A and B are shown apart, each in its own frame.
Chain A
Amino acid sequence: MNTSALKHLTIAALLAATLTNAPAALKVGDTLPDLTGYHLEGTLPDSLKGKVVVLDFWASWCGPCAESFPVMDELQKKYQDQGLAIVAVSVDEKADKMEAFLKRQPVTFVVVRDAEHKLVGIAEPQTMPTSFVIDRAGKVRFLHNGFHGSRTRAEYVDQIESLLKSNP
């Protein structure tokens, strides 16, 4: 093999190695993708347009997720008339585990399951749970890694109230 061909091969291999590890996570400032394109199990809201959305990734095996659900349910009930929509995306591999969890902890917000891990694969949350707070224009404005009890609740309230005040 001559040096030129080897050089090209090396560059290609290094590029491939770089691309394999390239982060592509959903972050603050990004636009929320259309959730209908990810084969989510369950019923999504008719339209999220013009709404403040909390997109929460959770799992039945995650302790802080169980802690977060009553708080999110309370927020949903309090702010839904003003335009809040909480969408909880379960990443459970087994649907029955998710259903058993929801039986123990019934909620009023929308719960769907990302069985194929397509949506979570592009959002790439670093912890469980992770939630994205999205403004009325569909832009991710805040990111919550984990759930830390009253501290996270207070942050949610502040952020949701400030986003609800803004015009679509």
Chain B
Amino acid sequence: MKSILLLSAAAAVLALTSGCENVKPWERGNLTDYTMQPDRTPLPSGQIQHIYFSREEATGGSGVGGGGCGCN
């Protein structure tokens, strides 16, 4: 009985002090900031991806494809 209570208490304490906090839908202003974007320069990034998939066989998976023939 005592060990179950101890386990429950530990679980409750963990739940309260885990430090995890969901960001509420109305608190996402900072996440939408320009500085939070993973890719802030989409055009040059697209060009670089194009060069990679055209010239290198071992690339792909970024929304582009190619066999490394250099023909596209």
Contact = CB atoms under 8 A, between A and B. Distances in A.
Q: Do A and B bind each other?
A: yes
A56 interface: no
A117 to B, nearest CB: 7
A126 B8 CA distance: 31
Interface residues of B, number: 19
Q: Which of B6, B8, B26, B27 has the most CB of A within 10 A?
A: B26
Contact of A128 (B1, B13, B26): B26
A3 to B, nearest CB: 6
B2 to A, nearest CB: 6
B26 A125 contact: yes
Interface of A: 3, 6-7, 9-10, 13-14, 16-17, 20, 57, 59, 61-62, 91-94, 97, 117, 120, 124-128, 130
Contact of A6 (B5, B25, B26, B33): B5
A41 to B, nearest CB: 15
